[in-house]
Structure formats: structure tokens, C-alpha cells
């Protein structure tokens, strides 16, 4: 079968035929000497365009959600109650949640993904993301400069950096109006725990100072590929009415962290490194342990320390 001249690109050798051939830039035909055309699928030849799947990487803590029903529930759990429209998905992976988010007309979706293979796959499958898909590390981006307006966060958080993500959210509490996320159940329980619980800790107090926290649903390991060795939960954080704490936020953070680093001790002993004035040390609250104080108790104690 013969044909006229056609635009050619890189040469490829077919060892079984002993021929050097060239393929057309659109990847549909090969032109051989002498003038024979073979119709082929370029995806079988060119690995650069093989973006039909993403391999989960252990070092990135990747466990891809595979249940469509669960993905739909998570996407619908984002309430956008504060009338914001920008939403940032952290670690979209294979895009199972992305698909449902793109179907929502009330949000303007952005995504950040550190894995290059996932980025290539997402660009191929969801071309409408365009330059709204960032190939970057969420923890290293200045999101305040990037958005400069209120936004929400959603995602299946990598379990190995979930705590770091929440500390980043705390830095952005004036902009992040809502967080809907899936994470290790143990960490989720810690965030929504109340005073008196063994799981009540640093993140519980710091996040609840700015957000209302609530459980959404539990997700079993079988919902993921590969299945994690732990159970997972989806929680929602909604910005409360506190615009600014009535005390030094830096001292508040320092006080909470120091108290829980020695949670088995009374505050009088746990807070010794802060060198509190004697009259503060004699307050009744100083005889209690870290997990016995509410968020308001920590704010009040911080204010008292500031006054000395």
C-alpha cells in the first residue's frame, strides 16, 4: 500500500524486520521503506505517553481510594458554608475525588500533587485542571500569596505528613475556612477529641481554638489500593467565629505544646521551662494535667501569664 509524503519524526528500529522506520507526529501510522504503512497504537511504543495508571509509592505514603461511593460522600461533605469558592485538593493521586469535585459548580478547584507520575496522569485525564494543578509539595508553597482570599482544603492526606499539614493549616487559619480530609483514624480521633480523653492533645487544642471539628465517616482498609494497615476516618473542620485569640497566639502555642510534652505531670511541673511567676504557679489550675484543660482554659491561662 503506497501513499504520498508524510511528516516524520523520530526513527524507531523494528529488530524482527531489520528495518528502520519513522513515525508520524500524531502517532497513528508508521512509514516504512518501501512505502508500507502500519497502523499502530503509539501508547504501546512510547512510554512517555503511557499515563493510564499511577503506581502507589510507599515513600510518599500513597494509598489510593478506589470506592466511588466513598469519594462522592467526601466531595459532598465540603459545605462551603462561609461562601468561599476556591478549593485546594491535597494529593489527588489518581483523581477519584477530583472527578466528583469537578462536577460541583459551586467551587473553583485547584490541586497540589508532589508525585510527577500522578501529575502527568491527572493532566491527561482531567485536562480542565490546566494550570490549576500544581506540581509541588503542599508544605512548601506560600498559599497566602498564591490565593490571598478565603479557601477550603480537601483531600486524602498522606498519613506520614498529616500532622504537618494541620500545622500548616494553623498558619493559614485566617484564610482556610474549611477542611474535609481523610486520614489515619488515630489522628482523626485526636483532632476531634474533647478534654479528659487520652487522645486529647496538642492538635486538639490548637485546631479547636479556630475550628469546629466533627467526624464524617469511617473508611475501611479495603477501600484503598494498596490497603493501609490502619483504619481511616473522614473529618470536617469548619472555621469558628474566632478571628483572633484574646491573647498572644505565639505564647498560646508555646504553652499548649509545653503542657502536652509532659502530659502526665501537673502543669506546675510541666510548664517549668517557661519560668512562670510564683503567683501564677500557685493558681489552682496549675494542679491539673494538660488533658484536663479546655481550649478556653488555655486561652485564659495565656492571658494571665501575659499580664505579668
pLDDT confidence of residue 19: 39
**Closest Cα partner for 304 from 289, 287, 273, 282?**
282
Q: What angle do CA 96, 97, 100 make, to 5 degrees?
A: 100
**Closest Cα partner for 91 from 40, 127, 54?**
54
Which CATH superfamily is 249-306 part of?
Answer: rRNA adenine dimethylase, C-terminal domain (1.10.8.100)
What is the rounded distance in angstroms from the CA atom of residue 270 to the CA atom of residue 262?
Answer: 5
b/e map of 22-56 (b: 16 or more CB within 10 Å)? bbeeeeebbbeeeeebeeeebeeeeeeeebeebeb
With 0.85 as the threshold, say if the pTM is over it. no
pLDDT confidence of residue 81: 83
Dihedrals phi, psi of 62, to nearest 5 degrees: -85, 125
Grid cell, residue 133, equals 494543578
What percentage of the chain reaches a pLDDT higher than 90?
79
Cis peptide before 226 (omega within 30 of 0): yes
pLDDT confidence of residue 260: 97
Average pLDDT by consecutive 10-residue portion of the chain (308 residues)?
A: 43 39 40 40 38 84 94 96 93 97 97 97 96 98 96 95 97 97 96 97 98 98 95 97 95 97 95 94 96 98 93
Q: Which CATH number fits domain 58-239: 2.30.130.10, 3.40.190.10, 3.40.50.150, 2.160.10.10?
A: 3.40.50.150
CB 287 within 8 A of CB 233: no
Query: pLDDT tens-digit profile of 62-107?
Result: 999 999 999 999 999 999 988 899 999 999 999 999 999 999 999 9
What is the rounded distance in angstroms from the CA atom of residue 240 to the CA atom of residue 196?
Answer: 22
pLDDT confidence of residue 22: 42
What is the rounded distance in angstroms from the CA atom of residue 292 to the CA atom of residue 239?
Answer: 24
Query: pLDDT tens-digit profile of 157-173?
Result: 998 899 999 999 999 99
Residue recorded with cell 458554608: 81
pLDDT confidence of residue 277: 92
**What are the domain boundaries of the chain?**
11-49, 58-239, 249-306
- List, in sequence order, every residue forming a beta bridge with 39; answer none if it has no partner: 29
Amino acid at each position: 500500500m503506497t501513499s504520498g509524503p508524510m511528516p516524520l519524526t523520530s526513527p524507531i528500529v523494528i529488530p524482527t524486520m531489520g528495518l528502520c522506520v519513522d513515525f508520524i507526529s500524531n502517532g497513528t501510522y508508521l512509514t516504512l521503506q518501501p512505502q508500507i504503512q502500519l497502523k499502530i497504537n503509539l501508547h504501546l511504543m512510547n512510554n512517555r505517553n503511557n499515563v493510564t495508571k499511577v503506581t502507589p509509592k510507599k515513600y510518599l505514603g500513597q494509598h489510593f481510594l478506589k470506592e466511588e461511593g466513598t469519594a462522592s460522600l467526601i466531595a459532598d461533605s465540603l459545605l462551603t458554608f462561609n461562601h468561599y469558592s476556591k478549593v485546594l485538593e491535597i494529593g489527588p493521586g489518581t483523581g477519584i475525588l477530583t472527578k466528583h469535585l469537578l462536577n460541583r459548580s459551586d467551587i473553583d478547584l485547584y490541586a497540589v500533587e508532589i508525585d510527577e507520575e500522578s501529575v502527568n496522569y491527572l493532566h491527561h485525564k482531567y485536562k480542565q485542571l490546566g494550570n490549576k494543578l500544581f506540581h509541588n509539595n503542599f508544605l512548601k508553597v506560600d498559599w497566602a500569596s498564591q490565593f490571598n482570599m478565603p479557601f477550603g482544603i480537601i483531600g486524602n492526606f498522606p498519613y506520614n505528613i498529616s500532622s504537618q499539614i494541620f500545622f500548616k493549616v494553623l498558619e493559614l487559619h485566617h484564610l482556610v475556612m474549611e477542611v474535609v480530609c481523610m486520614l489515619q483514624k488515630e489522628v482523626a480521633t485526636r483532632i476531634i477529641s474533647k478534654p479528659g480523653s487520652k487522645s486529647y492533645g496538642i492538635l486538639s487544642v490548637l485546631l479547636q481554638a479556630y475550628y469546629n471539628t466533627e467526624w464524617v465517616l469511617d473508611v475501611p482498609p479495603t477501600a484503598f489500593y494498596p490497603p493501609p494497615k490502619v483504619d481511616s476516618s473522614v473529618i470536617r473542620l469548619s472555621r469558628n467565629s474566632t478571628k483572633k485569640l484574646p491573647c498572644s497566639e505565639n505564647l498560646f502555642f508555646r504553652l499548649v505544646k509545653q503542657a502536652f510534652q509532659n502530659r502526665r505531670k501537673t502543669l506546675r511541673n510541666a510548664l517549668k521551662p517557661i519560668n512562670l511567676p510564683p503567683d501564677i504557679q500557685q493558681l489552682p489550675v496549675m494542679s491539673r494535667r494538660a488533658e484536663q484543660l479546655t481550649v478556653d482554659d488555655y486561652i485564659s491561662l495565656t492571658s494571665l501569664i501575659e499580664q505579668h
